[in-house]
Amino acid sequence: MEGSRLVKEFTKGLWKEIPPFRFVLGLCPTLACTTAVRDGIGMGLCLTFVLVCSNVLISLLRKVIPAQVRIACFIVVVATFVIIVELVTQAYFYPLYMALGIFIPLIVVNCIPLGRAEAFASKNTVIYSLADGLGMGLGYTCSLTALAIFREIFGKGTFLYHHIMWSGFEPFAFLQKPPGAFVCLGLMLGIMNLIGSGEK
Amino acid sequence: MREIVKLIVVLTAFCVGSAFSLAFVKEATKERIEYQKLKVLVAPAVKAVFPSYDNDPILERVKVKLSEKEVINVFPAKKAGSLIGIAYEGIGSGHGGAVEVLVGMDLNGKILGIKVVKHGETPGIGTKAVESQEFLNQFKGKGVGSKLTVGGDIEAVSGATETSTAITEAVRKAVEMFPKLKEKVRG
């Protein structure tokens, strides 16, 4: 086990391969769950949990899973953890569960857990898979939070439901609507590409 | 052939493992989830029907079996440890399906307050009765022994007669259950 590789696998999800902005994956919740900062963080953490658990389990069982039915096995593992997340958010964070609604069960069909299972966890050892899942999950959480901060502050004039803008501030209600989500995402992708273009 | 058997065994094992772990988590969170749901959906109504209390009626709810299939949640309101009233739901049939009304009763069988918890009435028409505080306040002070009929001792909201009747029916049914429920909650 090499420390520098571990760090690399962890940090790649935070910047170089940050899922929604570099791979443009998992966009459904990125657009739908970013109207409020709490929802963005909540969604991100739900996905992080699923990703870490499914990555670890799949990596542990990678020698047992036959190649022909691997996708079916991955989906069963991912779906199991998603339902666990759904039950736990319902039991302990009910308002968050109400806000995220259908998007929690939809993590099953999110490309990221399945993609990481297929591309990474099924080929690497447990410890690297853990780092990969954690990095990707936190990268995803940061992306959602960044979008949500922008959309909540300018779209509603609040931050974590506290009013922070000056009185008389007219919120850009457009940012709270679905088209606003697309525009924000587009701007974000543009900025990321602008910054990234220098690195190549 | 051996290959196929292996595929079947592995996939079956995955599904069985998944099913067992999910059954375990579901069982472990069942109580909490029910509490959370009631807390979000019913707690504001409980607050509305009782003037004051200092316990958590949702946490201390009592499940009362009415018949083989019917189980009702009764929410006791307490002040300094002693029971001051109970709240529970009555159901009437309105224009858009069942109308569920939470009724708060004191121990003498008098209504302290009522609040519609769930309904499917037409917005702007039936909902006039649901929202009219004047209409809902008519029930206060009535209780066991009152007729509780529209046109009798309850005046309907004009234009929302059907919903008014449904709410009254729900309250009447709830009041009828009172003696039975009171015994169960006290005992």
ipTM for the whole complex? 0.82
Is A84 within 8 Å of B22 when comparing Cβ atoms? yes
Mark whether B111 and B143 lie in a shared domain.
yes
- Mean pLDDT over B156-170 rounds to 92
In chain A, where the domains are located: 3-197
Q: Which residue range is the domain that position B49 belongs to?
A: 43-186
Are B30 and B122 part of one and the same domain?
Answer: no
| B16: contact with A, CB 8 A cutoff | no
DSSP chain B: -HHHHHHHHHHHHHHHHHHHHHHHHHHHHHHHHHHHHHHHHTHHHHHHH-S---S-TTTT-EEEE-SSS-EEEEEEEEETTEEEEEEEEEEEEETTEEEEEEEEEETTSBEEEEEEEE--PPTTTTHHHHH-HHHHHTTTT-BTT----BTTTBPPPTT-HHHHHHHHHHHHHHHHHHHHHHHHHH-
Other beta carbons less than 10 A from residue B132's beta carbon: 16
Residue A73 and residue B7: Cβ atoms within 8 Å?
Answer: no
> Is B49 found in the same domain as B37?
no
Same domain? For B87 and B159 the reply is yes
Claim to verify: residue B113 and residue B138 sit in the same structural domain: yes
Which of residues 14 through 33 in chain A touch B, CB cutoff 8 A?
Answer: none
What is the per-residue pLDDT across A158-191, written as a single tens digit (0 to 9) for each? 888 888 888 888 888 888 999 999 999 999 999 8
Segment (H or E) for A72: helix A70-92
Q: Given a cut of 80, is residue B153 above it in pLDDT?
A: yes
State pLDDT tens for residues B55-81: 888 888 888 887 788 888 899 998 888
Quote the tokens at residue B156: 């309907």
d(CA B170, CA B183): 21
Those of residues 17-76 in B touching chain A at CB distance below 8 A are 18, 21-22, 25-26, 29, 32-33, 36-37, 39-40
